Amino acid sequence: MSLVNKQLRYVVEAVRDNREALSEYIYRLYERIERYEEKLKGFITLRPADTVIREALEANRLGKPLAGIPIAVKDNISTEGIRTTCASAILENYIPPYDATVVKRLREAGAVIIGKTNMDEFAMGSTTETSYFGPSRNPWDPSRVPGGSSGGSGVVVSAYMAPAALGSDTGGSVRNPAAYTGIFGYKPTYGGLSRYGLIAYASSLDQIGLMTRDSVDAALLLEYIAGEDPRDPTSLDLRVGGLFKEISSLGEGRDLPKARLVIVKEMWSGVEDHVFKTTMNAVDKLSSEGFEVEEVSVPEVSYALPAYYVIAFAEASSNLSRYGIPLYGLSKDPENTSWIDYYSEIRSKGFGKEVKRRIMLGSFILSAGYYEQYYIKALKVRRLLRDRLLPLLRRGYIASPTMPIQPPRLGEAIEDPLRLYAMDIETVIPNLIGSPAISLVAGFANSLPVGLQLIGPPLGDRDLLLIARTIEIIIGLSNLSPQMG
Amino acid sequence: MEVDIKRLERLALLKLSDEEEKALSKDVEKIIGFFKQLDGIVLEGVEPLFHVMEKEAGVREDSVEKGIEKLWIERSAAKTIDGYVVGPRTITGEES
CA distance A472 to A352: 39
Question: What CA dihedral angle connects B7, B12, B18 and B20, to 10 degrees?
Answer: -130
> Residue A193's domain is classified under what CATH number?
3.90.1300.10
Helix axes B18-35, A304-319, angle to 10 degrees: 140
Buried-state track A214-241, b at ≥16 Cβ within 10 A, e below 16: bbbbbbbbbbbbbbebebbbbbbebebe
Residue A154 has pLDDT above 60, yes or no: yes
CA distance A268 to A164: 30
Q: With CB atoms and an 8 Å threshold, state whether B52 touches A359.
A: no
What does the pLDDT look like over A277-335, one tens digit per residue? 999 999 999 999 999 999 999 999 999 999 999 999 999 999 999 999 888 889 888 88
Nearest CB neighbour to B96, from listed A324, A340, A374: A340
Q: With CB atoms and an 8 Å threshold, state whether B35 touches A339.
A: no
Which sequence spans correspond to the domains of chain B? Answer: 5-40
Structural domain range at position A38: 3-253
Closest Cα in chain A, distance from residue B93 (Å): 9
Residue B95 has pLDDT above 60, yes or no: no
Q: Which pLDDT score is estimated for B47?
A: 96
Q: Is residue A342 part of a domain?
A: no
The residue type found at A351 is F
CB A260 within 8 A of CB A287: no
Q: Lowest mean pLDDT of A61-75, A233-247, A460-474, B71-85, name the range.
A: B71-85
Q: Is residue A61 part of a domain?
A: yes
Q: Is residue A267 part of a domain?
A: no
At B70, the pLDDT band (50, 70, 90 cuts) reads: confident
Residues of B in contact with A351 (CB under 8 A): 14
Tell me the pLDDT of chain A averaged across its residues: 96
Q: Is residue A432 part of a domain?
A: no
Q: With CB atoms and an 8 Å threshold, state whether B38 touches A353.
A: no
At B96, the pLDDT band (50, 70, 90 cuts) reads: very low
Q: With CB atoms and an 8 Å threshold, state whether A363 touches B8.
A: yes
- DSSP one-letter string for A134-170: ----BTTBTTB---SSSHHHHHHHHTTSSSEEEEE-S
Q: Which pLDDT score is estimated for A2?
A: 86
A181: phi then psi, degrees, rounded to nearest 5: -105, 5
In chain A, residues 221-240 whose CB comes closer than 8 Å to chain B: 230-231, 233-234
Q: In what order do the strands lie in the sheet with A292-296?
A: A43-46, A112-117, A70-74, A164-168, A208-212, A184-187, A437-445, A448-455, A397-401, A260-264, A292-296
Residue A13 has pLDDT above 70, yes or no: yes
Closest Cα in chain A, distance from residue B69 (Å): 8
Residue A9 has pLDDT above 50, yes or no: yes
What does the pLDDT look like over A420-449, one tens digit per residue? 999 999 999 999 999 999 999 999 999 999
Q: What is the mean pLDDT of residues B36-62?
A: 88
- E strand spans, A179-229: 184-187, 208-212
A338–chain B Cβ distance below 8 A for any pair: yes
Q: Angle at Cα A155 formed by Cα A154 and Cα A161, nearest 5°?
A: 110
Omega within 30 of 0 (cis) for the link into B63: no
Q: Which pLDDT score is estimated for B93?
A: 60
What does the pLDDT look like over A452-484, one tens digit per residue? 999 999 999 999 999 999 999 999 999 999 988
At B94, the pLDDT band (50, 70, 90 cuts) reads: low
Nearest CB neighbour to A381, from listed B11, B43, B72: B43
Structural domain count, chain A? 1
Q: What is the mean pLDDT of residues A256-277?
A: 96
A367: phi then psi, degrees, rounded to nearest 5: -80, 160
CA distance A179 to A450: 6
Residue A386's closest chain B neighbor by CA?
B52
Residue A48 has pLDDT above 50, yes or no: yes
At B55, the pLDDT band (50, 70, 90 cuts) reads: low
CA distance A313 to A318: 9
Q: What is the mean pLDDT of residues A378-403?
A: 98
What does the pLDDT look like over A247-262, one tens digit per residue? 999 988 778 899 999 9
Query: In terms of Cα–Cα distance, which of B48, B67, B55, B21 is closest to A357?
Result: B21
Strand A292-296 to strand A260-264: parallel, antiparallel, or no bridges (unpaired)?
A: parallel
Query: In terms of Cα–Cα distance, which of A460, A441, A451 is closest to A395?
Result: A460
Q: With CB atoms and an 8 Å threshold, state whether A98 touches B69.
A: no
A122–chain B Cβ distance below 8 A for any pair: no
Q: With CB atoms and an 8 Å threshold, state whether B92 touches A190.
A: no
CA distance A451 to A442: 5
Residue A1 has pLDDT above 60, yes or no: no
- The ipTM (two decimal places) reads 0.92
CA distance A99 to A47: 16
Pairs of residues, one from chain A and one from chain B, whose beta carbons lie less than 8 Å apart: 176
| DSSP single-letter state for residue A77 | B
Which active-site residues of A does the annotation give? Answer: 74, 149, 173
Q: With CB atoms and an 8 Å threshold, state whether A357 touches B31.
A: yes
